[in-house]
Structure 1
Amino acid sequence: MTVSSHAARAHSFNSAAAQYAANRPSYPSALLDAIEELAGRPLAGARVADVGAGTGISTALLHARGADVVAVEPGEGMAAQFRRVLPDVAVVRGDGNSLPLADASLDFLTYAQSWHWTDPARAVPEALRVLRPGGALALWWNTDAPDVPWLAEQGRRIARHFGAGVPVADRNVSARTVDPSGRLDPVRREVRWSRRVPVDTHLANIGSHSIFLVHGDEATAAFLAEEREHLTRAFPDGLVEEVYDVVLLLATTT
């Protein structure tokens, strides 16, 4: 992917913020349990910054868990939607490459579906700067479960139509891809979960991914119309079971 196309995909969400907020999946409580276990401390009462917070899907969970959380979001459209969804949680404009946060001010720095939009050469030093000793950097992604046949078939159809897969970061993300410099030594954990949603919700969910947004309305509409036929045959009751493996990588500072 070129720098320009990467930037276009990163900014594409601002035009679809309401669609994103209404249809993207959240995360299971077991993920937050795993974060606390691996970090060796609870989120309740912890000072947390959720970076690339988008419309607040992960921020809302951290806030509900009792964290003192601030959101960091670069996009105007996403930040505006965040404020509508979470008016009582602070959101500041910025990104992981240059965090608008004080040195050694955080217990947790979190990235939900967003680390792959950073430049690790800049984002890793920033993470180490803002985390307190013993603080935790937690990165996670919802990824389609690879052993679910209909999801694998859908992924192949997307690849054929657009010439690329939906995820920017896939389930094979590793410590080396997160931090090529090797300064971090994250622990990996996977958490499986699922949700049952109407076909329309599932189509709006996948349509809110950047690969769809940057290809324009015509290409997206053509794919989604064909995909609706596939899903209607596969799920005659009109409810789709989306199965996810949340890939979590967590590193603690010294």
Structure 2
Amino acid sequence: MTASSRATRAHSFNAAAAQYAAGRPSYPPGLFDAIENLAGRSLSRARVADIGAGTGIATALLHARGADVIAVEPGDGMAAQFRRAHPGIPIIRGDGNTLPLTTASVDFVTYAQAWHWTDPAQALPEALRVLRPGGALALWWNTEALDVPWISEAADRVGRHFGVNISAEKRNVNARAVDPTGGLGFARREVRWSRRVPVDTHLANLGSHSIFLVHGQEESAAFLAEERRHLLETFPDGIVEEVYDVILLLATTP
């Protein structure tokens, strides 16, 4: 993905923030257990900066875990949706490439479904700058469980239509892509989980992805209408079982 393409896709969420908030999946408790296990400390009472917080799906879960969390979000639409949904959690405007945070001020820097919108050459030093000694940088993504047949078939349909390789994108979620030097020694964990949602929620989730948002409403609507037909053949009761592998990468500072 080129820098200009990345920027276009990243900004596309602002016009669809409500759809994003309504359709996107959450994260399972096992993810936060894994974060604490790898970091060697509890999230409870830890100072956490959640970067690229979006509508606050992960931020709210960190807050519920007992963290003293602050959200950082660059987008107007996403930040507005965040404030409506989570008025009690502080949010400041900014992005991962130039964090609006003081040096050595937080115990965790987290990126939920957001690291790939940064320039790692800038974002990695920034994360290390704001972390306290012994702090942790945690990055995670909900990825489709492509070993589930219906999910693999659906991903192939998306790939053919939009010219993307979903399997390759999942393989690219790895420590070397985040830190090519390997100096930080990222640990990796995968947590499988699932949710059952109405077909309309599943389609709203799918349509909130940047690949749909940047291709225009008419093209996306046509694809999603056809996708509904495929889904109802697999799930005639209209309830879709989405299965995810949350991929977690975590590194601690000296």
TM category (shorter chain) comes to over 0.9
Structure 2 residue ranges without an equivalent (≥5): none
Q: Is the 8 A contact 2:156 2:166 kept in 1?
A: no
Q: Is the 8 A contact 2:142 2:247 kept in 1?
A: yes
Determine whether 1:241 maps to 2:241: yes
Instruction: Report the counterpart of residue 209 of structure 2 in structure 1.
Output: 209
SS in 1 for 2:43: coil
State the number of aligned residues: 254
C-alpha distance after superposition, 1:18-64 (max 9, x if no partner)? 00001100000010000001000000000000000000000000000
Distance in 2 separating the partners of 1:218 and 1:48 = 40
Q: Is the 8 A contact 2:105 2:132 kept in 1?
A: yes
Root-mean-square deviation (CA), in Å?
A: 1.3
The Cα of 1:183 is off from its aligned counterpart by 3.1
TM-score, with structure 2 as normaliser: 0.97
Distance in 1 separating the partners of 2:217 and 2:117 = 23
Counterpart mapping for 1:1-254 below 5 A: 1-165=1-165, 169-254=169-254
Segment of structure 1 superposing worse, 149-158 or 162-171:
162-171
Q: Is the 8 A contact 1:138 1:251 kept in 2?
A: yes
C-alpha distance after superposition, 1:110-136 (max 9, x if no partner)? 000000011111011101100000000
Q: Is the 8 A contact 1:171 1:247 kept in 2?
A: no
Q: Is the 8 A contact 1:175 1:184 kept in 2?
A: no
Distance in 2 separating the partners of 1:86 and 1:167 = 34
The Cα of 1:185 is off from its aligned counterpart by 1.1
Q: Is the 8 A contact 2:140 2:249 kept in 1?
A: yes
Letter in 2 for 1:203: L
Distance in 2 separating the partners of 1:194 and 1:127 = 31
The Cα of 1:3 is off from its aligned counterpart by 2.1
Distance in 2 separating the partners of 1:172 and 1:98 = 24
TM-score, with structure 1 as normaliser: 0.97
